[in-house]
Amino acid sequence: GQPDTRTPTGAETGVPPVSHAQQGAFLTTAQGARLRDTDHSLKAGPRGPILLQDHHFREKITHFDHERIPERVVHARGAGAHGVFTSYGTAADLTRAGFLKHKGKETQVFVRFSTVLGSRGSADTVRDTRGFATKFYTDEGTFDLVGNNMPVFFIQDAIKFPDIIHAAKWHPDREIPQAQSAHDTFWDFVSLHTEAQHHTMWNMSDRGIPRSYRMMEGFGVHTFRLVNDAGETVLVKFHWKPKLGVHSQVWEETQLTGGVDPDYHRRDLYDSIEAGAYPEWELGLQVFPDTPEETFAGIDLLDPTKIVPEELAPVQPVGKLVLNRTPTNFHAEVEQVAFHLGNLVPGIDVTNDPLLQGRLFSYLDTQLTRLAGPNFHQIPINRPHAPVNDMLRDGFHQQAVHGGVAPYRPNSLDGGNPFEAGDKENAFLDVPVVVTEAPKVRDLPVSFKDHYTQVRLFWQSMSPIEKEHIIRAYTFELGKCYHQEIRERQLQCLANIDPVLCEQVATGLGLPVPAPTIELPQVTPSPALSQVGHQWPAD
C-alpha cells in the first residue's frame, strides 16, 4: 500500500508540522507573526473603544471563544489513561486477531472510564453505570471494546436508547440530574419497560457506586463472534477482571466523597498511576459454540439484558491490561477520543444483537457532530497505529495533503489494482452468517420476553448485607418520586422478582405489598454470579 499521508511530516509537502511546544523567546500570532504586546488591546486613545482592526485581539478572543467542544450526549463525564495490553496467547485457537493470538504480544491501549448520565462537570461518585471503553491500537487496525461495568443493559433494542436517556438524564426545566431531584421519569420508564429491571437492580446494588475505577469489572455486554485461522467461529462475551478485586463505596461514603471531592475517581486513577501503583485488569472470555440458535444453556445470547452465569461458562483469561501513563492533555486525549463498535479487526466480528446493531450506527454518527466533521480519525488519539491506505478525501479539518488523483477502484491507470491482488487472507472478512428468509418485522424474539428470571437470580446471589444495600437503595430512590402510581408500579415489578425484596421496600415506603402478577418459582437455585471462581495467575 501507499504510505500513510495523514500525518503530515512536512518532508513531502514542505509544510512544517503543527507546533506543540508553545515555548520560545517571543510570542507570535497563530500565523507566526511576532507580537510586541498581548496584554493590551488596540484602542482609540487610552480611554477609547477597542478598534475592530485589532487582529491580534480578535484572533486571541475568537480562538478562546471556541475552546470547548460539545460534551458527549451520554458518558460526558470521564477520565482516561494510556496503557499496555499483553496477550497470554490462550485465545490462539479462537481468533486470528494478532493482539490476542500471539503469546507475549504487547499492544498500546487508551482506556476511558465514565459515568453515563451526568454532565462533564458532574461528580464521579453518583449512583450510575460506569463506562469502560478500551481502544487497542493493534498492528492490524484499531479495535474498540466499548463496555460498561455492568454486564447487562436497560434495553434490548437500540431504538429505545433515546427513550431511556430522555427519562434518566436531567429534567429539561431545571437541568437538575435525576440523582438529586424528582425521580419520576426514570422509574416511570423502567417500571413500564420491564426489560430494564435487570440493569436497574445492578444499579441499585453496590456496583452502582464503585469505590474506584481500578476496582471495577468491565463487560462487553453483547455477544461477539470470533474467527480463527481455519475460519471456525465461536461466540464470546468479553470480561475485564480488576486485579484489586471489585469494591464499592457505601451510600453514606458516596455522599461524603461526592461533596468533599467530586473528582474522587479521576484523582484516584491519576494518583495511583503517578505513584507507580498501575491499575491492572485481566481480559477474559466466556466462550460458547456458534450454533444457529445462538443460545447457551437456554439463554438467548443476542439478548443484552441477560448474562450467562460463570458457573455455566467460566471466564477464560486471555491477556492483561496495565494502565501506566496519564494523559498529557485532557482535551486532546480524553475529550477527543472517539470509540466505535465498528472499529473491529480481522478475527473479531459482531452478532445480530439488536442493541449492538444500533450502536454500530450511533457512535460514528454522534462523533460527526461532536468532533466537527468526518476527519476525527486523524486526531492524534484516534490515529491507528497500523499503516493506513484508505480512499477517503477532503472534508472539514482534513490534515493530510493527499497527492495524485482522487482514488477510485477499479483503476487501470495506477499500475494495477493492489486491492484486487492484495493479501486477502489478512483482511477483515465478514462471517457469512446465514440470514433466514424471515419476514421483515419490528418484533423481538419470544426468548426476549422473560424480564424477571435473571433479576431474581442476581438478587438471590447477593449476601445479606448486599441485599440490605439494595433494599435501601430502592427505598431511597423510589422515595424521591412524586407520583405514587409510579412507586406502586415499581413495587409490582419487585413483587414479580422476590417477595422479601418487595415487602421490605414497600414497608420502607409505607405502601401496601402487591401480589405478583406472574407465577414465582417455589425454590430457585442461587448460584453466585460474576467474579466468583476467578483466579489471578501468580505474577
Positions annotated as catalytic residues are 75, 148
Instruction: Between 84 and 368, name the residue whose CB sits nearer to ligand HEM.
Output: 368
Phi then psi for residue 501, to 5 deg, are -55, -50
Instruction: Between 72 and 101, name the residue whose CB sits nearer to ligand HEM.
Output: 72
Looking only at residues 70 through 129 of this chain, which bind ligand HEM when binding is defined by CB under 6 A? 72-75, 78, 112, 114
| Contact status: 336 vs ligand HEM (CB under 6 A) | no
* Binding string, residues 30-49; x marks residues near ligand HEM by CB under 6 A: --------------------
Alpha helical stretches, state H, 382-526? 418-421, 453-460, 464-478, 484-497, 499-509
- Candidates 97, 109, 123, 146; binder of ligand HEM (CB under 6 A) is 146
| Contact status: 142 vs ligand HEM (CB under 6 A) | no
* Binding string, residues 272-311; x marks residues near ligand HEM by CB under 6 A: --------------------------------x-------
* Residue 409: half-sphere exposure toward Cβ, Cα within 13 Å: 9
Kindly state the smallest distance separating residue 224's Cβ from ligand HEM, in Å: 12
Kindly state the smallest distance separating residue 535's Cβ from ligand HEM, in Å: 26
Range in contact with ligand HEM (rule: CB under 6 A) among 35-43, 206-214, 240-248, 360-368: 360-368
Residues 247/205, Cβ–Cβ less than 8 Å: no
DSSP 8-class letter at 332: I
| Contact status: 367 vs ligand HEM (CB under 6 A) | yes
Instruction: Between 232 and 365, name the residue whose CB sits nearer to ligand HEM.
Output: 365
Q: Is the peptide bond before 439 cis (omega within 30 degrees of 0)?
A: no
| Collapsed DSSP state (helix, strand, coil) of residue 131 | strand
* Binding string, residues 510-539; x marks residues near ligand HEM by CB under 6 A: ------------------------------
- Candidates 83, 98, 141, 147; binder of ligand HEM (CB under 6 A) is 147
Instruction: Between 75 and 487, name the residue whose CB sits nearer to ligand HEM.
Output: 75
| Contact status: 133 vs ligand HEM (CB under 6 A) | yes
Instruction: Between 72 and 377, name the residue whose CB sits nearer to ligand HEM.
Output: 72
- Candidates 158, 190, 285, 308; binder of ligand HEM (CB under 6 A) is 158
| Contact status: 168 vs ligand HEM (CB under 6 A) | no
* Binding string, residues 212-231; x marks residues near ligand HEM by CB under 6 A: ---------x----------
Range in contact with ligand HEM (rule: CB under 6 A) among 332-340, 381-389, 399-407, 499-507: 332-340
CA nearest neighbour of 462 among 251, 187, 204: 204
Could you write out the DSSP letters of every residue in 297-311? TTEETT-TT----TT
- From residue 259, how far is each of 77, 122, 256, 271 by CA, in Å? 16, 11, 5, 19
Residues 105/86, Cβ–Cβ less than 8 Å: yes
| Contact status: 153 vs ligand HEM (CB under 6 A) | yes
| CA pseudo-torsion sign 95, 96, 100, 104 | positive
Instruction: Between 73 and 513, name the residue whose CB sits nearer to ligand HEM.
Output: 73
Q: Which residues contact 463 (CB under 8 A, 6 or more apart)?
A: none
| Contact status: 161 vs ligand HEM (CB under 6 A) | yes
C-alpha cell at 305: 439484558
Instruction: Between 108 and 228, name the residue whose CB sits nearer to ligand HEM.
Output: 108
Count Cβ atoms within 10 A of the Cβ of residue 312 and give its class: 0-12 exposed, 13-18 middle, 19 or more buried. middle
Compute how many residues bind ligand HEM; rule: CB under 6 A.
28
Phi then psi for residue 427, to 5 deg, are -90, 160
| Contact status: 131 vs ligand HEM (CB under 6 A) | yes
Which residue spans within 328-394 are E strands per DSSP?
Answer: 348-349
Q: Which residues of 346-384 are buried (b: 16+ CB within 10 A; e: fewer)?
A: bbbbbbebbbbbbbeebbbebbbebbeebbbbbbebbbb
Kindly state the smallest distance separating residue 296's Cβ from ligand HEM, in Å: 18
Q: State the pairing for strand pair 280-289/316-325.
A: antiparallel
134 vs 213: CA distance, rounded Å: 13
**Residue closest to ligand HEM (Cβ):** 131
| Contact status: 352 vs ligand HEM (CB under 6 A) | no
Cell numbers 459454540 correspond to 289
| Contact status: 193 vs ligand HEM (CB under 6 A) | no
- Give a three-class secondary structure readout of 26-84: CCECCCCCECCCCCCCCECCCCCCECCCCHHHHHHHHHHHCCCCCCCCCCCCEEEEEEE
| Contact status: 366 vs ligand HEM (CB under 6 A) | yes
Where do contacts with ligand HEM occur on this chain (CB under 6 A)? 72-75, 78, 112, 114, 131, 133, 146-148, 153, 158, 161, 221, 304, 337-339, 355, 358-359, 362-363, 366-367, 370
